[in-house]
A and B are shown apart, each in its own frame.
Chain A
Amino acid sequence: MTSTIEETASAPADVTRGAFDLEWGDLIKTGAILGLGLVFMSLAGMPTGLDGRLLIDPFLSLGYVSLLWLPLIVGWSVANEKVLEGMVATRKSARDVVAGLVVGAIGGAGLSLLIVLIGAFDIRDPLVNWNEKTQAFLSFQRGTGFGVIACIVVSALLAGFGASLHLMPRRVRRAIVSALLAVISVAVFESFLVDVADPLSFLYTKTGGLLPLWAAVVAALALAMTLSGGGERIGQARTNFQELTGPAKTRQNTILIVVSGLALIIIPMITGKITQELLANVGIFLLLALGLNIVVGLAGILDLGYVAFFAVGGYTTAVLTSTNRGPDWPEWFPTLPWWGAFLVTLLMAGLVGLFIGAPVIRMRGDYLAIVTLGFGEIIRILFLSDWLSGYFNGAQGITNIPPADFGIFEVKGTDPRSVFYLVLFFAVISIYVSWRLERSRLGRAWMAVREDESVAEAMGINTVNVKLMAFVVGAVLASFAGAIFSAKVGSIFPTSFLILVSIIILVIVIVGGMGNIVGVIVGSIVLVGVLGGPKQPGLLQEFSEYKLLIYGALLIWMMLQRPEGLVPNARRSRELHQDEFLQDAWLKGKVDDADENGNGADSGTVAPGLAGGAS
């Protein structure tokens, strides 16, 4: 149940509640939310749009999957109950399955209502997907009457199944979940898997979609692996790894870094172009996100116009290397090889960082965010403007940017592997820079400014200089990405630097984990690699039309459930979960302090109330 703390706390120990002893109000509310979600998804056009993409030929299309997962998850969560310290959990029973069925049925009723209403009214004008196609899709192409009942039944069954997962033994549950996930991912990532290893194409039909036989084989493999304890072993290995300390830990980390480094060098050699392209795109956004991470994550300056520095990097390189730059450049203006242009680009980005930063940095918080947003747009509009079109060609952009020539190899867009290696090289530099700076005098000053700017100022930190430094370092890191981007794409337009890019970079940093390098890497892989960048397709290329919808949903979910990001920074995590952390520290710290100072309880131990309030 979505039972509240009071209810669970007052329940006597290990009570099994009757099958119909349910919180009906909560169930109806959750069911209604599920219904709204399903209707929203249908009207957003995701199911009908993706219906053509078969996952398992001919039974299941991606369109249906994009709807069906919702009742499953809601059913699972409706029977999921958070057990806090000192609370007694109610034993899982048929009651939870009933709850799932009820919620699912209510949610399905929402869809049924939609089927009926589509027949009754025509509001196609604002809602493009209010049409027979949606209706037919939702009724499984078998007429409204069948559809109305089928929606309720299917949704109820799925939600009931989701809820019943709680009743199964742990291992069985894991096996089922992993089998489902395995089949879906093998089917969804078809093009990627075939690209990585061409022989795998025997799994799929020619028109796309997993063959039913192979779907069963994949599911069976996943089942067998989990049932034989594969999951536990992996979990155990991870715990062992995390518990290492001292030199053993350092050695493990070194091994991990070396292995992943080698993997990153070798993987692009054996995969096809799609994967190489994907890796290159992830890398470019990683470079941007690492830079923004210094600005936002370390120094706490919310820069919403970060794309400006990406644009400056791209355009500077383009102007210095292209033969097709604007006509107004003077005769003597040089055309440089890529690496020469790159050095100028760094300088230019640093200068622009100073130039934009100097006025902006004196502001704080929201004001600063709005002003940076403005500057981000100003830079793009300058490149677009008629006024400077003699230099930057306005909307036509700068084309004919030659590949980056390094003698031994050339980096060009048609060879994504070379782009990836160049990106990898600069990513290593960026990571090194972030890592060194975080542990330096400057890094500490950035953190102090982030924590409390006026106190940092009173402690002798010149906050203006320190923040400006963060801005400049961020700008220089962004220009790495810009310079590579222009060599990769070969042409550069103002539309490559929309505000959306700034937002996506920020989302990468937030979703990955602010102030954490590993988090930023994971964030770039998940967002750009899986979902896709602003214009770059990701692994889920079918969803590219709904990318922003998914970004938004993901961001909201993260803010609610895991505000510290996928791979949290220890500090930030503490900040956001202060109460739990303090309770923990208090329990651990109590004994030490009592020994240490005679008056232990007063001066040594943590006062959770005060601590929570003062941060």
Chain B
Amino acid sequence: MSHLLEIDSLSVTFGGLHALKDLNFHVDEGEIVGVIGPNGAGKTTFFNMISGMVTPTSGDIRFEGESLVGLDPNQVTQRGIARTFQNVRLFANMTIVENVMVSQHCRTKQGVWGALLNTGKFRSEEQEIRQHAEKVLGFFGSRLVGYRLEQPASVLSYANRRRLEIARAMATKPKLILLDEPVAGMNPKESAELTDLIGKLRSEWGFTIVLIEHDMNVVRDVSDRVVCLDHGETLAQGSFEEVSNNPDVIEAYLGRPLEKT
């Protein structure tokens, strides 16, 4: 019960395909855990399962000691798990600040009457939402603030879209953030910068982080611990050095050397 997130012999099958097989995994508060593995290893399915978008076939997911199985995605977010998406999925026609404001939905509560009567509570809540949104966006320097606040998300560059996705996840006030390939498509300079920011997400904002990433430099630089998945199974766990030197992991990425077959 001491783990923040605990995953207990979790399996999911899509028809005959075992996307995840008997997975055991845990994350402690304040950790940054990297999840690696070749394409099709089940990494994103793993995230989808935690965030409630896919229901596991068997096994249990516990967050702060309570099971998440059977909860809707919005309830999972309410409990304190936020995520980003591998193929950036912003609300493209909402403005940048609205993207971040809307993700505070589950932390706020003003409804129809507050809006219609324009009550004091409604106004102060709106103001708080806005301030928090600007604060979160300010985390990424000057890129997403200022005149940008009122621009639609669709004008952003690819890298900025990824940043906005992270901002949106941060704004749900989570304990645990799941980052799905946060630096995919960024150039080396940008990914180094984002690696830095991921570190700050923990040190300054106190988030626990699980990230899926293919860029091994990023994984090495930020992760306390690395888990390698392949064909839905845990291949190796441990520090980056241990995992990256594990012969099974090397085999999964590069294939079996010819002479051994």
Contacts and interface: CB of A to CB of B under 8 A. Distances in A.
B217 interface: no
Contacts of B85: 455
A431 B104 CA distance: 27
Contacts of B101: 444
Contacts of B114: 440
Contacts, number: 154
B1 interface: no
A437 B190 contact: no
26 contacts: A436-B116, A440-B126, A442-B112, A444-B101, A444-B102, A447-B94, A455-B91, A458-B51, A458-B77, A459-B102, A459-B106, A460-B82, A461-B74, A461-B102, A462-B106, A571-B94, A574-B93, A574-B152, A578-B154, A582-B154, A582-B155, A602-B187, A607-B157, A610-B157, A610-B158, A614-B154
Interface stretch (B6-14, B28-36, B141-149, B206-214): B141-149
A602 B106 contact: no
Interface residues of A, number: 51
Interface string A337-364: 0000000000000000000000000000
B141 A459 contact: no
A440 B53 contact: no
B115 interface: yes
B53 A458 contact: yes
Given A437-B116, A603-B159, A451 B93 contact: yes
B92 interface: yes
A452 B93 CA distance: 10
A581 B92 CA distance: 13
B249 to A, nearest CB: 30
A585 B142 contact: no
Interface in B80-123: 82-83, 85, 88-89, 91-94, 98, 101-103, 105-108, 110-112, 114-116, 118, 122
| Interface of chain A, main secondary structure | helix
Contacts of B187: 599, 602
B93 A572 contact: yes
Given A455-B85, A571-B152, A441 B110 contact: yes
B94 A440 contact: no
Nearest to A452: B89
Interface in A592-615: 592, 596-597, 599, 602-607, 610-611, 614-615
What are the 8 A-B residue pairs with the smallest beta carbon separation, nearest first? A460-B106, A440-B115, A460-B77, A451-B91, A459-B103, A615-B92, A444-B102, A457-B73
Contacts of B105: 441, 444-445, 448, 459-461
Interface in A421-462: 432-433, 436-437, 439-445, 447-448, 451-452, 454-462
Interface of B: 51-53, 72-74, 77-78, 82-83, 85, 88-89, 91-94, 98, 101-103, 105-108, 110-112, 114-116, 118, 122, 125-126, 129, 141-143, 147, 151-152, 154-161, 168-169, 172, 187, 189-190
B93 A459 contact: no
B73 A458 contact: yes
A606 B157 contact: yes
A586 to B, nearest CB: 8
A469 interface: yes
B106 A461 contact: yes
A63 to B, nearest CB: 46
Contacts of B108: 441
Given A458-B77, A592-B147, A606-B155, A614 B88 contact: yes
